[in-house]
Amino acid sequence: MNKIISTPKAPAAIGPYSQAVMAGNTVYVSGQLYFIPETGELLEGTIGEQTTQCMKNMAAILEEAGCTLADVVKTTIYLKDLNDFAEVNAAYGAFFPQNPPARACVQVAKLPRDAKVEIEAVAVKA
């Protein structure tokens, strides 16, 4: 049976989806934008700062599921502009200093709320 994961430490879903779903020992984290959990507003700042907020939101959801970023096995990064790749990569990489997960990074035509970056993840709870 699937378990819905939800925490006020991360932004509420802005549509008909869950922050994450745990199926067995696998956690599927929905794409995280750089919303500030307390205000529901997108973080203003550099693409690196926005990426950091996406990762903080993801970490809060994983914590609620009993996981950490070390349990992440796959991520997907969606970028509005692939020219931001280097700055996003640097901010993202700070969260995975050793043994980073598998990853895909793609440019997309548009993201919700006209965001510049969105990151989703799959984690396996040890």
What's the pLDDT score for residue 126? 82
Q: Residue 63 belongs to what domain range?
A: 2-124
What's the pLDDT score for residue 89? 97
Q: Is there a catalytic annotation at residue 105?
A: yes
Closest by CA position to 101, among listed 122, 118, 82, 85: 122
Q: What is the pLDDT of residues 63-77, one digit of tens each?
A: 999 999 999 999 999
Residue 43 tokens, joined: 């973080």
Q: Is the Cβ–Cβ distance between 6 and 64 less than 8 Å?
A: yes
Q: What is the CATH number of the domain that holds 91?
A: 3.30.1330.40
Structurally, how many domains does the chain consist of? 1
> Is the per-residue pLDDT at 1 higher than 90?
no
pLDDT interval class at 124 (50, 70, 90): very high
From the candidates 105, 111, 122, 125, give the one annotated as an active-site residue. Answer: 105
- Distance, in Å, from the CA atom of 79 to the CA atom of 33, rounded to the nearest integer, reads 11
Element (H, E) at 107: strand 102-107
| Torsion angle defined by CA atoms of residues 116, 113, 61 and 101, in that order, rounded to the nearest 10 degrees | -30
Closest by CA position to 70, among listed 10, 124, 4: 124
Q: What is the pLDDT of residues 28-46, one digit of tens each?
A: 999 999 999 999 999 999 9
